[in-house]
Structure 1
Amino acid sequence: MSSKPAARELEPATISEHAGVRYLHLGTPWVQGAMRIRKPEALELEYVQRMMVWMLFRPAAELTSGHAVQLGLGAGAITRFCHQVLKMRTTAVELNPTVIDACRLWFRLPAESARFTLLEMDAAAFAGDPERAGSADVLCVDLYDHEAASPVLDSVAFYRDCRRLLADGGVMTVDLFGRDASFDVSVGRIVAAFGRDAVRTLSPTREGNQVVVAMKQVTAPDRALLAERAQNIETRFKLPARKWLRMIQLLPEPEPGAAGPSGATPPPA
């Protein structure tokens, strides 16, 4: 069976503008991405800024090196930032060709080069390819359909593939809806893939987006080191990293006797 849905199943990208900001939609009023026209490299949406919280969990010397992968292109904000501001080798994976076209025409997507690759393909197929194991230092997952109701890919198997895709010491961030009943289920699946000690959450935005962080084979930095890194990120990259630090939450311990998430097993070594 092909992993790529027929083109008619994918809603076409549409564009709107207001007060100097250009927005991407998929046939509905839901905002799928945004770019301030005069500052295309800035991260306009708050939840997209929070997707960069992985920067706190990487050594300062590694913020401008390594390989950053985005599953779900949106309006290309994270792709532009990783490629043009952080100067990382960057790969973006997007299934919808109209999103790719919109980003090229209207959202200042960089041209493909030795340091930037854009793939029109299913994110599940990309993450599940064993030849890509260990190839991503940073993985940002933002996979919602046109109704923005729940993640398109949200299984234990998918998150295990994401973990395998990460290099040792790599970090994944995932955009979820914190006010949705599916949030705890999704977090449980991430825990099943990465292990409880490797997962953190941030407080939800006013719109309800809640970012989850998962680390591969890394000991979380202590609070003092995180604070030092946050100051460095704010100084160098003008992102509100000290605010992120106040939002990071450990997962609550499971109640005694409570069942773990469906299919939960310890992650592989």
Structure 2
Amino acid sequence: MPVLERSHLAIIQEVAREGSLTAAAAKLNLTQPALSHAIRKLEDQLGVKIWRREGRSLTPTQAGEWLLSLANRLLPQFALAEDRLEQFANGERGTLRIGMECHPCYQWLLKIVSPYLDQWPKVDVDVRQKFQFGGIGALFSNEIDILVTPDPLYKPGLSFTPVFDYELVLVVGPDHPLRHTKFILPQQLAGETLITYPVPSERLDIFTQFLQPAGISPRQQKQIETTDIMLVMVAHGRGVAALPGWLVEEYASRFNLYPVRLGKTGIAKQIFLGQRETDADIEYMRAFIQFAAGAIPAP
């Protein structure tokens, strides 16, 4: 079965462009006999004539016209592909797929993405929240490139970079009786409606680090997808929520919110960016992590 190669298309395109074997051979860095041999060999393989001679010039046959049209379509695509792959290799182009295991971090992420895209105009950003096998599995399966998480799971082949520290606090509205309390104990949430993001309790620090160790459950749990609606509900006395202190500070003036420490010493957390170790040298990914480390939320 004949095999049509990229080099064949380049020969066809160059001969058509130059109109003679001698000129085309010079452009292709071949001798004229070598180019003639290559054309005869291709015609023999394909079982069809590609050129007919008219005086000193060559004119494509019907098959040659079709191959020339194919060459004019495909060769620029090959050149573009090589250019793009070189840019990928140099870390200049790509799509940075970011996985989020931190719902309130969307506000923080917005502050990073805008200047990052300005500096890396050939890189796109895609943010994903749902993964088939969790965030760590998404990294291993190449669903995402970077995982934003407060709970790194160290596995061979992955690395995690801490980008900022924060304190998890209870958020209450202006009329809540806990508003002026310096800190609360788990028992004080037993009669409360706790508003959370729609994720399992085992992934919520308010449960794993505060309520469950004391054997306490809230009176009711409401799950809300968006941060803004959650905070509006809290401000209007429909419940309380546990969120990063920096986020509460940022929204406090808009929604009339008040942070309360969870326990005497509080709950200290960090946000990490996880990535595959094999991607550590990709320049645009390394630049994103540097942007993230510099975009520390206000305390």
Tell me if TM exceeds 0.5. no
TM-score by length of 2: 0.27
Flag the structure with higher helix content. 2
Q: Greater relative contact order: 1 or 2 (C-alpha under 8 angstroms, separation 6 or more)?
A: 2
* Structure whose alpha-carbon radius of gyration is higher: 2
TM-score by length of 1: 0.29
